[in-house]
Amino acid sequence: MANRRYSPVLLEEIKRKQYVLNEQGLDILIKPIPDDGRPGAMDPRLLALTEPIVKGIRGSLLSLFTPLFLKSRNPRRLAAFMRRYFDDIQSVPITEGVSVRHDTVQTPEADVPVRVYRREDARLEAAPVCLYMHGGGFAAGNPNVVEEIVKQVVHLSGCVAVQPEYRLAPENPFPAALNDCWETLRWVYRNAASFGGDPRRICVAGDSAGGNLAAACAMRGRDEGGGMVKAQVLLYPVVNMAGKEDENYHFSLDQFTMLKEQKKSILFRIRAMRGGSEGILGCVLGVKDESLPLLSPYLGNPRNMPPTLVICGEFDCLRLDGEAYARKLKAAGVPVRTIRYLGIGHAFSECIGVQPQAEDCVAEISRFIAERV
């Protein structure tokens, strides 16, 4: 536990205090803040990072100019903005005994670098395979940002993991990233046995934009690939890029409980992501119709999708999208497990060793893979 920046007691408190809440017919496993029980509070570790940003002149300037910048609709400027904020590694290394091998998936469009992760003490046998796609708004992020997540999943579940370094927009417009991930899925299916994996036990996973790519791969796997995907794990996924509302989904700030004295910091976290999801991703990807199911899986056919784990943070605007997708999948007869972490915003799972919720999240993913893959 030497590298962790929190007490192991906090991990135990998350588990001890968790409970199930039924909202609109969906059972959601609620993971409370381990050391703050006030409704609508922000996790103290996240608050310590957020308050210096939003207070004073700097906060006022950010609130004024960020929305204007995001509305500029200049793909390259937007990509540079995303890369400035999404390319940093937020985790600290806590995982030992996991090896990384670099390989290349050759496709008709590009050579896709991939990383293959295995436990060093694992035997070459038919283990489940987790194909993990990093986030970053399709224009940013890289395998290094989420490598500690992937290593932890491999360490805890005993699976083999593969992470593709897919092409980024706007230099590579849609569907370049999706095609890279899809071709990597096909490569995994063909070659899993060579690195100790079982092609019949593949889980696709991803966070944010990576969650979108995972869901799209699962959808293509259902429709084109003969059921290659056994399960999917979606961490605060982009599933409704078009932002279309229906009887199941409606965005409103009224759906977020916020502690009065922390409201400014909480709204900053929610609005920052909300501003980035209103037409921005389509602009970066170079698409005019964001309602295509492979861009907005929420708008696609939910039937016969694989068992699904959806994980979101309470103060992430994408929580409403993700939980609406979970309800839609459940209504279509798909086995769904939904988890909500209170007091946390977007991209929290990247903070392995920094936020106890991130480590608990990885344990839940590992448990789901063990049970469903």
CB 99 within 8 A of CB 117: yes
- Distance CA(51)–CA(46), nearest Å, equals 9
Residue of 91, 277, 296, 346 marked catalytic: 346
Q: Is 265 a catalytic residue?
A: no
Q: Which amino acid is present at 126?
A: A
Cβ count within 10 A of residue 279 = 16
From CA 62, how far away is CA 69, in angstroms rounded? 10
User: Residues 43, 180, 207, 316: which is the catalytic one?
Assistant: 316
Among this protein's residues, is 316 annotated catalytic?
A: yes
Catalytic residue among 208, 265, 296, 349: 208
Token look-up 């910091």 returns: 265
| CB-count exposure of residue 309 (10 Å: 0-12, 13-18, 19+) | buried
Q: Look up tokens 């007091």; give the residue.
A: 343
Helix or strand (DSSP H, E) at 126: none
Question: DSSP for 13-37?
Answer: HHHHH-EEEEETTEEEEEE--TT--
Q: Using alpha carbons only, what angle is made at residue 277 by residues 142 and 331, rounded to the nearest 5 degrees? A: 95
Residue with tokens 């390319």: 87
Measured CA to CA in angstroms, residue 326 lies from 4, 45, 214, 248, 331 at distances of: 32, 28, 15, 10, 9
Active site residue 346: yes
Beta bridge partners of 131: 162, 204
Where does 6-141 have alpha helices with state H? 8-17, 44-54, 56-70, 75-86
Residue 345 corresponds to which tokens in the numbers above?
């915003």
With beta carbons less than 8 A apart as the criterion, state whether 214 and 204 touch.
yes
Cα separation, 244 vs 246, whole angstroms: 7
Handedness of CA 89, 90, 95, 98 (dihedral sign): negative
Residue pair 270/189 in contact by the 8 Å Cβ criterion: no
Contact 94, 3 (CB under 8 A): yes
Interior angle at CA 333, CA 328 and CA 338, nearest 5? 55
| Residues designated catalytic | 208, 316, 346
